[in-house]
Structure formats: structure tokens, C-alpha cells
């Protein structure tokens, strides 16, 4: 427990990057996964840090190539045309993401469903299937029970962040941050201050968190407005009614892995109580941000005593 940490001064600015620990920090960013992926590392000679960050980006790029829902040549999109009811070999990383997605699909009672299809104009598009129609088989093979339009964007970005942190850790680098457009994870030797934007006004802040070393955080808001040019952006489908979610709430989840944090934000947005229960079961903490600016830490409801 870290509840005894020193109090936060309420007016202090965020810590600036630059120098950390023994040496200077190296920061790089590349356009990947539809956003900017930033990797920062300290604690080694500059050349070594640059090379390790290169390798970490390669892991992110691999996830991008395999699981990009918008690129017809990605393995994920090719699965749409694969034969039904027979085992199909996929990349071990694709298999790992699908397996975790399937586990969370079941644990959330179907709320987390990357097969609920992609919203284009507020109405769900594509198949009426669910992840129930995807069976994980041994040796990195999957079996499709029906045609599915899979969108792993609610979990693959977090998975990519986790793989990048692993690559850096394998090279002895733990004073690191990998941040894919706000879905991020810290190396096990670094704590950081994180600002979470207001769910519908990206010019405002809503929450400031001091993350413990090794923590992962993801945020999600289905509707978002720029301060001076309001624009609705919908990206979450409720599998129960197959409608895009358009309430103005935001969810932020802190977990031990970024894929888990990423996926849990979707469950929290769809059903805060179910999301709180699942987050607690997974050792995660979930915050719900309201358009009014209020922030709630979600606690699972107490269990009723069984007579």
C-alpha cells in the first residue's frame, strides 16, 4: 500500500522531463496505431537508450501491422475472409490479444466485445456476431463460427504498450514510460504524474494521478469535443443494443497491464457497476468522469449477505 505517501502540493506544476536519475532521458515518438506513440527511457548511455527504444518501437509496429482494423492487409482483416469452422493459424501476438479479449468478453458477461463492430455514424456496422463465435485453439490457432468484423482497437494499443515495456525491461531498462496516445505504462523503476483530460472538453483537465512504478493507465471517452470546434467522435458500441455509446462520460482505469486497463475502460463506460466489479476482480482501479467535471472512484457494490 502506498497510501502513506507525501501529500501533493495542489498548485505545483507537473515535473518537467529532461534529466532523470544518473543520465539524461531520451524521448522519441513515432506515428503508430493511429496516434503518437512516445517512448521515454533513462538510466543508461544515450546510444544504448536510443537502440533499445528502436527495438521497443519495432514491437509496437508489429502490433500495428498485425492488428490494424483499417488496413486490409493486416492479419486481423484477413481473418474476416478466412474459412469458417476450421482452425486457422495466426501470429502468436494476435492469438494472445484474441485470447485476452475472449477472457474479458466472458468475464464481463459480453460487455467487452471487439466483434460488436465499428460505429461509423452512430449505428453499429457489420456482422451481428459476437466474440462467442471465436474459439481459441492450441498452437496459436483460432476457429471462427461465423463471419466477424473484429476491431481490437480497444485492447491492442494497450497490448502494444505492454510489449514495448517488456522489450525495454529485457534490456535492463526499467526507468521508462511508453505512452500510446494516453494509454501508457511505466517501467518498474519509475512513478509519474498523469493528467487526464475532461471527457468532453480536451482543453480542460479532470484528474491528476500519481502512478506507482510499474502501473498502467488507459482512458476512454466515447464523445469528445474540442474546446473551440465541437466535434463528436463515437467509437464504442454497446453490444446489448448494438448502438454507439454517446453519453459524455469518460473512464480511466489503472491496472498492472495496459491491455487490461485499455479493455476495462470500455466495460466501465458501458456499465459502471459491472466495470467496477471486474476492475476489482482484476486488481485494477476505475474512475468515471462526468461531463460536469465530477470524478468518481468506482467501488464495487458490497455483496449482499446470503441468508
Partner 1 sequence: MTRWYHPHPLISAALVIVGPVSAEAAVYLSVGDAQQAIFPGESFERLEVELSEAQAAAVRKASGMRVRERELHLWRASGGGFFFVDRVLGKHEFITYALGVDASGRVKGVEILEYRESYGHEIRNEAWRRQFKGKDSEAPLTLDQDIRNISGATLSCRHVTDGVKRLLDTHAILFGPPA
Rounded to the nearest whole angstrom, what is the least distance from the CB of residue 84 to partner 1 in the complex?
Answer: 34
Rounded to the nearest whole angstrom, what is the least distance from the CB of residue 127 to partner 1 in the complex?
Answer: 26
Q: For residue 126, give the C-alpha cell.
A: 457489420
Rounded to the nearest whole angstrom, what is the least distance from the CB of residue 205 to partner 1 in the complex?
Answer: 4
Picking from 267, 289, 298, the residue whose alpha carbon sits closest to that of residue 154 is 267
> 159 or 287: whose CB is closer to partner 1?
287
Instruction: Let me know if 18 is exposed, middle or buried by CB neighbors in 10 A (0-12, 13-18, 19+).
Output: exposed
Picking from 8, 36, 41, the residue whose alpha carbon sits closest to that of residue 23 is 41
> 17 or 172: whose CB is closer to partner 1?
17
Rounded to the nearest whole angstrom, what is the least distance from the CB of residue 148 to partner 1 in the complex?
Answer: 24
Count of other CB atoms within 10 angstroms of residue 137: 12
Helix (H, G, I), strand (E, B), or coil: what is residue 56?
helix
Helix (H, G, I), strand (E, B), or coil: what is residue 37?
strand
> 55 or 240: whose CB is closer to partner 1?
55
Rounded to the nearest whole angstrom, what is the least distance from the CB of residue 207 to partner 1 in the complex?
Answer: 6
Q: Which residues pair with 143 in a beta bridge?
A: 135
> 144 or 218: whose CB is closer to partner 1?
218
> 114 or 222: whose CB is closer to partner 1?
222
Cα separation, 242 vs 173, in Å, equals 43
Amino acid at each position: 500500500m502506498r497510501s502513506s505517501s507525501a501529500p501533493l502540493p495542489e498548485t505545483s506544476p507537473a515535473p518537467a522531463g529532461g534529466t532523470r536519475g544518473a543520465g539524461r532521458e531520451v524521448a522519441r515518438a513515432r506515428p503508430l496505431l493511429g496516434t503518437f506513440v512516445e517512448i521515454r527511457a533513462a538510466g543508461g548511455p544515450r546510444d544504448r537508450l536510443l537502440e533499445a527504444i528502436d527495438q521497443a518501437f519495432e514491437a509496437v509496429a508489429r502490433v500495428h501491422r498485425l492488428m490494424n482494423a483499417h488496413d486490409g492487409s493486416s492479419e486481423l482483416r484477413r481473418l474476416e475472409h478466412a474459412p469458417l469452422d476450421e482452425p486457422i493459424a495466426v501470429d502468436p501476438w494476435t492469438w494472445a490479444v484474441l485470447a485476452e479479449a475472449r477472457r474479458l468478453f466472458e468475464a464481463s458477461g459480453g460487455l467487452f466485445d471487439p466483434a460488436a463492430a465499428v460505429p461509423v455514424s452512430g449505428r453499429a456496422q457489420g456482422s451481428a456476431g459476437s466474440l462467442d463465435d471465436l474459439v481459441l485453439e492450441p498452437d496459436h490457432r483460432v476457429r471462427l463460427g461465423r463471419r466477424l468484423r473484429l476491431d481490437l482497437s480497444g485492447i491492442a494499443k494497450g497490448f502494444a504498450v505492454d510489449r514495448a515495456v517488456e522489450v525495454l525491461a529485457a534490456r535492463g531498462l526499467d526507468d521508462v514510460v511508453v505512452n500510446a496516445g494516453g494509454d501508457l505504462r511505466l517501467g518498474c523503476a519509475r512513478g509519474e504524474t498523469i493528467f487526464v483530460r475532461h471527457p468532453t472538453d480536451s482543453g480542460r483537465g479532470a484528474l491528476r494521478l500519481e502512478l506507482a512504478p510499474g502501473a498502467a493507465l488507459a482512458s476512454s471517452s466515447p464523445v469528445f469535443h474540442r474546446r473551440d470546434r465541437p466535434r463528436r467522435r463515437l467509437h464504442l458500441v454497446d453490444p446489448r443494443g448494438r448502438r454507439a455509446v454517446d453519453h459524455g462520460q469518460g473512464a480511466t482505469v489503472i491496472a498492472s497491464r495496459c491491455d487490461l486497463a485499455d479493455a476495462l475502460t470500455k466495460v466501465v463506460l458501458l456499465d459502471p457497476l459491472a466495470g467496477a466489479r471486474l476492475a476489482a476482480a482484476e486488481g485494477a482501479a476505475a474512475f468515471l468522469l462526468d461531463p460536469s467535471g465530477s470524478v468518481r472512484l468506482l467501488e464495487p457494490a458490497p455483496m449482499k449477505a446470503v441468508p
